[in-house]
Amino acid sequence: MHECPEEEIRRLRQIATRIRCHIVRTISQAGVGHPGGSLSEADILTALYFHVMRIDPQRPDWSGRDRFVLSKGHGAAGLYATLAERGFFPPEELATFGRIDSRLQVHPDMHLLPGVEVSSGALGQGISVALGMALAARLDGRDTRVYCLIGDGESQEGQVWEAAEVAAHHRVDNLTAILDYNGVQLMGPVREILQVAPVADKWRAFNWNVIEIDGHDMRQILGALEAAQGVKGRPTIVIAHTIKGKGVSFMEGKSAWHGKAPNEQELALALAELQAGEEVAHA
Amino acid sequence: MPEALRDVFGRALVELGRENPNIVALDADLASSTRLIYFAEAFPERFFQMGIAEQNMMGVAAGMALMGKVPFVATFGVFASRRACDQVAISVGHCRANVKIVGAYPGIVSGNNGATHQAMEDVAIMRAIPHMVVVDPADDVEMAQAVRAVAAYDGPVYLRVTRDAWPRVSPERYRFELGKAVKVRDGADITLVGSGMMASQCVEAAEILAREGISARVLNVATVKPIDVQAIVNAAEETGALVTAENHSIYGGLGSAVAEVLTEHAPAPMARVGIRDCYGECGTNQELLAKYGLSPQHIAEAARTVLARKGSRARCI
């Protein structure tokens, strides 16, 4: 288990809850967005942006920063909530999500919002871009680490596997992919739409180092990301078993909440649950 | 003797690689054909073999560009434009990544590989992608300079690199400028507008026409996007008729670009010489140009037809 002080774990969990509250509020206000996959990724993003990555919100273009690529671009609300909470832009701006002239596009636009590294949303593409970043950093002898979050539905794209074989062939060990393995996509369970299992075996067969974790256990997330940093000669994928819609009971595991905005009553219920969950966790 | 355009491309990239350590090259197992192999031999640490996986390659190039590299990613034009289209549009285009996409063996003259390898619509696809600059050099002199200009330009570029040698059309002491068309032969009755290797076909057509007493201007439009609006407007106003000639489908390429300019700025009779909505086949370059209507004779014939429409303004006999 990861040797992180309990206070730090508690701090991160509280942040993750605030991020989840931002997510449901943002999507509800906008009437558009992807709550399920944003909630499932929240703990992973919290760990990356508040503990693992070397970043500076005051200098989003700092060349020494680590890079994060949200390959599953529809998780944008989760990324924006994280960036806002981390201080890249004021949280009030989350209210503009999906509106005309907003910097917060429903799929991320790297030119609009500080902290967004890559425009994404066309599935399968982000992992290739992340691989290119990692190769360039290595060529320059920089110790930059590149993190890339992919979806399980996204893993149906052939490009993901092109990137997988190329990253392993070139022994790109400064790239860490994280699979948000929530098991649900737009039209239903992944196992019914197009089975990606045994996904860990597939990545192993592609010569990646594979770490499987509970993607909502902060200690396990930190442990996996730290372990990945120590792996030399091959890329690592953290297969994070997650729950779509995590933290909001009526969204959990439901494909209906892949791309649907909660109405006012649903939002109130979701916020109450998230806050109650926080109290229970820290009682 | 003019040199094969791919060789000129390959050597120019090596030269640039010496000057700029940020230039990197990405290959999808075609470096011996695209001549990226010269770069690979000179700078093995900056050459990245991506295997036969063009979609990933395009994204990797984008990622490298976002880290400050100047990636030249080379494959056949068909794969660069069609197979990796969405990656070009989003990972390169939307990110405005400083990636130089080399579409080798474009059009009908694809090294006798036949229909699957003949990029007839690559210019149309690339032209439609926001911010993408499209360059199709005519000869060895122009290619050497175009590669340099493309590397110096900050933003995504699609560079067509034809396999073989073509007659030189560029004048002595030629200076290639991105976005500038070049008058390679003056004339008063009609303008033949060519891009890529079709510029030399236009010069030959102009000679055929000259023997008939028709004075044809030849405009070499290497930068198809952004197109040199002024040069085309001048041609329309000064010669009153135009024929476009491209190693590409008549849809969406040079002919379309010129027609767009004329329609908006200086309507004039024109005709398009190009691939007429069909797939190609195997054959020698000359056989293919003849069969698919891209020979100097075809351009001359198109000119005669347009001149007939030009009516009273025509000065031809």
Q: Look up the CATH number of the domain holding residue B283.
A: 3.40.50.920
Largest alpha-carbon pair distance within chain B?
A: 64
| B246-266 residue pLDDT tens | 999 999 999 999 999 999 999
Which positions 86-115 of B are in contact with A (Cβ < 8 Å)? 86-87, 89-91, 94-96
Asked, for residue B170, whether it belongs to a domain, the answer is: no
Strands B270-275 and B223-225: unpaired
Alpha-carbon distance of A282 to A17, in angstroms, equals: 12
Strands B100-104 and B157-161: parallel
Q: Do A166 and B58 touch (CB under 8 A)?
A: no
pLDDT at B317: 41
Q: What are the DSSP E strand ranges found in chain A?
A: 67-70, 146-151, 175-181, 184-185, 188-189, 209-214, 236-241
Asked, for residue B227, whether it belongs to a domain, the answer is: yes
Residues B233 and B281 in one domain: yes
| A109-167 residue pLDDT tens | 999 999 999 999 999 999 999 999 999 999 999 999 999 999 999 999 999 999 999 99
Alpha-carbon distance of B120 to B110, in angstroms, equals: 10
Identify which of B58, B59, B69 has the shortest CB distance to residue A136.
B69
Q: Do A117 and B90 touch (CB under 8 A)?
A: no
Domain count, chain B: 2
Residues B156 and B18 in one domain: yes
Asked, for residue B50, whether it belongs to a domain, the answer is: yes
Asked, for residue B147, whether it belongs to a domain, the answer is: yes
Asked, for residue B287, whether it belongs to a domain, the answer is: yes
Residues B157 and B186 in one domain: no
Residues B143 and B227 in one domain: no
Class of domain A6-281: alpha beta
A174 Cβ under 8 Å from any chain B Cβ: no
Confidence tier at B314 by pLDDT (50, 70, 90):
very low
Residues B148 and B206 in one domain: no
Identify which of A118, A124, A159 has the shortest CB distance to residue B66.
A118
| Interface ipTM | 0.96
Is the CB of residue A41 less than 8 Å from the CB of residue A262? no
Asked, for residue B175, whether it belongs to a domain, the answer is: no
A132 Cβ under 8 Å from any chain B Cβ: yes
Domain that holds residue B118: 5-161
| Encoded amino acid at B219, one letter | L
Asked, for residue B166, whether it belongs to a domain, the answer is: no
B52 Cβ under 8 Å from any chain A Cβ: no
For residue A26, the distance in angstroms to the closest alpha carbon of chain B comes to 25
Residues B117 and B223 in one domain: no
Alpha-carbon distance of B184 to A52, in angstroms, equals: 60
Alpha-carbon distance of B246 to B221, in angstroms, equals: 10
Residues B75 and B209 in one domain: no
User: Residue A67's beta-bridge partner residues?
Assistant: A146
Residues B198 and B279 in one domain: yes
Asked which of B127, B161, B195 is the last residue of a domain, the reply is: B161
Residues B259 and B291 in one domain: yes
Alpha-carbon distance of A134 to A126, in angstroms, equals: 12
What residues of chain B lie within 8 A of the CB of A140, using their CB?
Answer: 67
Residues B154 and B193 in one domain: no
Mutate to test the interface with A, among B60, B64, B79 (most CBs of A within 10 A): B60
Residues B124 and B203 in one domain: no
Alpha-carbon distance of A37 to A277, in angstroms, equals: 19
CATH number at residue B77: 3.40.50.970
What residues of chain A lie within 8 A of the CB of B58, using their CB?
Answer: 128
Asked, for residue B102, whether it belongs to a domain, the answer is: yes
Neighbours of B183 (CB within 10 A): 15
Report pTM: 0.96
Closest by CA to B24, choosing from B54, B53, B47, B49, is: B47
